Amino acid sequence: MAAQPSRIVAIYPGSFDPITSGHLDLIERGSKLADRLIVAVLENRRKQSLFSVEERVEMLTEVVKPFPNVEVGWFHGLLVDYVKSRGANFILRGIRAISDYEYELQIAHMNRRLSPGVETVFLMAGEAYSFVSSQLVKEVVSLGGDVSGLVPPLVEERLKRLMAAPR
């Protein structure tokens, strides 16, 4: 019997508070490299977030609909434990600029030390989004600025609604 080709399962972890067009670009490109791509939202109780994990998962689930091999999950605790629990082969991360590199290098080394079989694969962020971060998007929206094109329309709508009626 012919051997079953091994399937490539990748985890794309992040805070996604909220998802930006840069994240979505990475998801689209990453989905072509893996048989299955799992976008994993970190639930970090120590970090104040604008959107709850449920809201972030809900928005992500909506925007990844065009990609049939992409699914959305969430995790807390160590990323490498989640990677193992999902039977994934690698972690996907994006790098926008050299300023991201040091942080990414640290977490990739730490994850490899914690779980030597797990590799991190980096994609360069699309040049159109190299300056876009969830943090900046939130700041611009809170000050009344226009973020159209920098986040998916659904996210822009949610951000505007939130800012109109802050919690």
Q: Is 30 in the site for ligand PNS (CB under 6 A)?
A: no
> At its nearest, how many Å lie between ligand PNS and the CB of residue 40?
8
**Residue window 101-140: x/- pattern of binding to ligand PNS, with contact defined by CB under 6 A:** ------x--xx-----------------------------
Write out the chain in H/E/C secondary structure. Answer: CCCCCCCCEEEEEECCCCCCHHHHHHHHHHHCCCCEEEEEEECCCCCCCCCCHHHHHHHHHHHCCCCCCEEEEEECCCHHHHHHHCCCCEEEEEECCHHHHHHHHHHHHHHHHHCCCCEEEEEECCHHHCCCCHHHHHHHHHCCCCCECCECHHHHHHHHHHHHCCC
Q: Is 97 in the site for ligand PNS (CB under 6 A)?
A: no
> At its nearest, how many Å lie between ligand PNS and the CB of residue 51?
13
Residues with catalytic roles:
23, 47, 96, 134
- Interface ranges with ligand PNS (CB under 6 A): 13-15, 42, 78-79, 107, 110-111
